[in-house]
Amino acid sequence: MAPQSAGDAIRFLTVADTAEILNVEVSEVMALVESGELPAIQVGPQWRIEREVLESYISSLYEQQRRRALWEQSDFASLAELSGGTIIRPE
């Protein structure tokens, strides 16, 4: 197999590479993989994360954060019934 040039992107990342990109511990990446939140493939004993899958995962986290921020700015966020809070009724 020919060595990759600096301009070529590596298709699959190791768990350690992924942890470095996300600036988290390897154990946190493994927890994401094992839960299925971050799709990965197992090649022998090693897990590999496709670069495009990681980019998609990061984009989805940004989208979740954007939606959460919009929700928190909405008039409905203060309603206990919709925000997951507990309604305390006077006796």
CATH top class, domain 12-83: mainly alpha
Bigger pLDDT: 5 vs 85:
85
Q: What is the pLDDT of residues 30-88, one digit of tens each?
A: 999 999 999 999 999 999 999 999 999 999 999 999 888 887 777 665 666 555 665 55
Q: Is this structure's pTM higher than 0.85? A: no
Q: Position of tokens 């022998």?
A: 44
Bigger pLDDT: 77 vs 22:
22
Q: CA 74 to CA 68: how far, in whole Å? A: 10
Query: What CA–CA distances, in Å, run from 16 to 19, 46, 63?
Result: 5, 11, 25
Phi then psi for 42, rounded to 5 degrees? -105, 125
What are residue 42's DSSP bridge partners?
47
Where are the domains positioned within the chain? 12-83
Mean pLDDT of 14-37: 97
